[in-house]
Structure 1
Amino acid sequence: MAFSRNKKSRVRRALVRMRVDYAGLINTTMQTADHATMKKNGDIEALRALAIILVILAHIAVILSPTSQYWIILENFRFGYGVDLFFCVSGFIITKSIKNEIPDSRSWSSFIKFSAPFWVRRFWRLMPSALFWICICLACSYFLSNKGVFLEFNKILPSATAAAFQYFNIIYSSARDAGTLGDTGIYWSLSLENQFYFALPLIAVLFGKRWMPVFFVVLILAQFFINRQLVHPTPELWAVRTDAISFGVLLALWHGSQSYERVEPTFLNNGYILTPLLLGAIVLLASLTAPLPPLPFAMGLTAVGSAVLVWIASYNQRYFTKNNYISRIMNYLGSRSYSIYLTHVICLSLTKQFFFSAPTAPTPTNFDTPHTIFYILSFLAMTLSFSEISYRLLETPLRSKGTVLSKKMQSKGCYEVSS
């Protein structure tokens, strides 16, 4: 009888373990499925495309004539909010993909099982491509600095090191004022984004979905009223702003609720309403990033404007992409926006390196209309070519590798919990 009872007890324990394993497997499958099967949002891709176009508009003046009228436009419309739009889109997409994975427990083991796969995905999504193009920046400075286009190697090395080790936003203001940014200047935003996503799992576990909104509202208010315009000397807080990305997090946490569904802006289905509002928003936000903006608290308002655009796009109702031709173009640019971001500054410098006269040359650079068009087209051709190579050979396969590694880590965690 004792043997029979022990045997039944062992069978019951085995059945319990099978149920736990099965439940854990289903849970892990549901979590990882979010990253692989989430429905693509064409309007979000359109905003990514808009963001990278704005970034290029903010930087392209370096291959134009010093007397070009475009410099006058930049005095009042900097287009610098492309990065803030990127931040808000990123905060929304990333938080939306993980919010159902946030554990109820605040234990150390729950934190690690939640955060480690997330960090692995983020690393393989962003860092290999970034490190490759940082190395290209260094190579260009080492071999091509004689003409004065690329910063000398010893001057750019500290900035490149900070970019590679993800603290560039901390030293950005001093490096910009010292003139040692070189072609690595864009990496402040990647450093800020990675720092934010390193902290996000900790915030999520500590505060939970219930109190996360309170945390991010406080974070937004703490910086909203601070003057952070990009002027000389560079404000310390310009490159550590987190209000736009925090708005993205709040939108993701709100997404799917009844109140969220009730306030969908369906009136924007009318193109006669949407088009002037969108164009007006683009112009207003461009003016807010000028050195002397028309409104106070301009950087905070830029984050608000970015959040409004992401809120509209979050419904995935093709408010921005009714036209199929425009939709295809924006989807292409949006999907490659990260690669374009990493390559476009190098391509601007290569355009100057290949086609501009040296400062000491007897014949100055020709900026007549045909030459200017040639410079712009050469820059665009190089950027699209390099970004396509980066997207296909680096970004896409390594992002897939990160997804696979993340799934393996989650499966292993499931096994360890059940053993």
Structure 2
Amino acid sequence: MQLDNKNIAQLDGIRGISILIVFFSHLGFGHLIPGGFGVTVFFFISGFLIAKLLMHELEESKTINFRNFYIRRAFRLYPALLFFVALIVSFLLLHKVKIIPSQIFAALFYFENYYYAYLIDYKEVHSLYLSFKILWSLSIEEHYYLFYPLFLYSTYSRVKLHTILSVILLITPLAIRLYNVEIYEEKGIYEKYNYALTHTRIDDIFYGSFLAFLLFKHNASESIFRFLTNRLVLLISLICLTATFIYRDDIFRETWRYTIQGICLAPLVTWAMYGGKSIVDQLFLSNRVFIYIGRLSYSIYLFHWLAIPLASLYFRRFGLEWQLFVFAVTIALSLFSYYKVEMPFVKLRKKFGSNVKVKIDEKNS
């Protein structure tokens, strides 16, 4: 398969569907819609895209410009994050709530997942502080960005070593999750640690990166592609993925579920990106509406979690008025953030090697 740094429209479609899963799950339909799976998909495709772009850079220049990479990440993530944090602080001050400096620090420097797990009980602070909790997943991604480019650069030319170390790195978080359920008897404790900490969930991102390596660098990449897009493999993956939603055992859900979902996503995402045109592709993945929502997904992900505690201050949780308020505020803030806060930084990102399009009506990555 040809390695390039072009945007993959289907991944924007997947992002769009994933953020809708997360959003409507939090809107009161969590008993029907697996919101956590939407985050798992985000992790997977983020890992795939980062690996694909970095491998292309390695093929073109034989190195990785780490400085430019981290500057691009900062310009991509920080504008919306700073706007998000500023809004929360403004609402806290408006409601005369005491500011917790350590919480702000955790949000801005991406250790909210450990802060939330070990250092704060959100039941004991004002409900507006819950807005910060959504940053747990972004913290994991940022930690991954610090680690993965160095790992890829060090092992890229040694396929066997990279493959062995990748398998070890994929198994280790599962082993830690299994260990946690053994030593922590209370479900609420091991559930929080296994769900939100970097060393227990980073494998979901790494599955995506390892897929990119297998498809574009591994010596048997063509055979791997044919295997992953085999109809029987796709069917088995879909069945196993569905089983992870149906089987409700607590220990399974906090251990093996994430591993099985990561494995099952590999053939399904490969087929979605490179399997050719299909009804699913035409109706959903390449649908302009879902692609557009996918481009707004980062903003929606942030601001829906601010809209929820705001709505809960004025309306009955999950009531119709509450849902309409959350929907309206999320859309308004997401659109403002995307067009007025994030897009002005596109040109700056291009100066440091990004292939993102300047015009807001074109595809970006």
| TM-score normalised by length of structure 2 | 0.77
Once residues 22 and 284 of structure 2 are traced to their aligned partners in structure 1, the CA distance between those partners, rounded to angstroms, is 24
Q: 198, 214, 222: which is aligned to 1:258?
A: 222
Q: What's the offset of the Cα at 1:158?
A: 2.2
| Alignment partner of 1:335 is 2:295 | yes
Q: What's the offset of the Cα at 1:375?
A: 2.9
The percent identity for this pair of structures is 25
Counterpart code for 2:269:
V
Q: 124, 132, 152: which is aligned to 2:83?
A: 132
From the superposition, tell whether residues 288 and 101 of structure 1 become closer, same or farther in structure 2 (CA, over 3 Å).
farther
Q: 40, 46, 58: which is aligned to 2:25?
A: 58
| Alignment partner of 1:89 is 2:45 | yes
Q: What's the offset of the Cα at 1:166?
A: 1.5
Q: What's the offset of the Cα at 1:292?
A: 6.0
- 1:339-377 C-alpha deviation (Å, 9 max, x unpaired): 111111111223233x42xxxxxxxx497xxxx334323
Counterpart code for 1:377:
L
Query: How is 1:154-169 mapped onto 2 (pairs within 5 angstroms)?
Result: 154-155=99-100, 157-169=101-113
| Alignment partner of 1:204 is 2:152 | yes
| Structure 2 SS opposite 1:309 | helix
Q: 193, 197, 200: which is aligned to 1:236?
A: 193
Q: 368, 371, 388: which is aligned to 2:335?
A: 388
From the superposition, tell whether residues 172 and 324 of structure 1 become closer, same or farther in structure 2 (CA, over 3 Å).
closer
- 1:274-294 C-alpha deviation (Å, 9 max, x unpaired): 8x986x677544456885657
| Alignment partner of 1:403 is 2:354 | no
| Alignment partner of 1:303 is 2:267 | no
Specify the alignment match of 2:95 in structure 1: 144
Q: 208, 215, 239: which is aligned to 1:248?
A: 208
Once residues 203 and 224 of structure 2 are traced to their aligned partners in structure 1, the CA distance between those partners, rounded to angstroms, is 20
Specify the alignment match of 1:22 in structure 2: none
| Structure 2 SS opposite 1:342 | helix
For the 8 Å contact 1:285–1:302, the answer to whether it is kept is: yes
From the superposition, tell whether residues 255 and 366 of structure 1 become closer, same or farther in structure 2 (CA, over 3 Å).
closer
| Structure 2 SS opposite 1:153 | coil
- 1:153-188 C-alpha deviation (Å, 9 max, x unpaired): 334x42221010122222221246453552100111
Specify the alignment match of 2:68 in structure 1: 117
Q: What's the offset of the Cα at 1:87?
A: 0.6
How many residues are matched?
A: 330
| Alignment partner of 1:46 is 2:13 | yes
For the 8 Å contact 2:16–2:291, the answer to whether it is kept is: yes
Specify the alignment match of 1:217 in structure 2: 167
For the 8 Å contact 1:124–1:402, the answer to whether it is kept is: yes
Structure of higher CA gyration radius: 1
Q: What's the offset of the Cα at 1:189?
A: 1.2
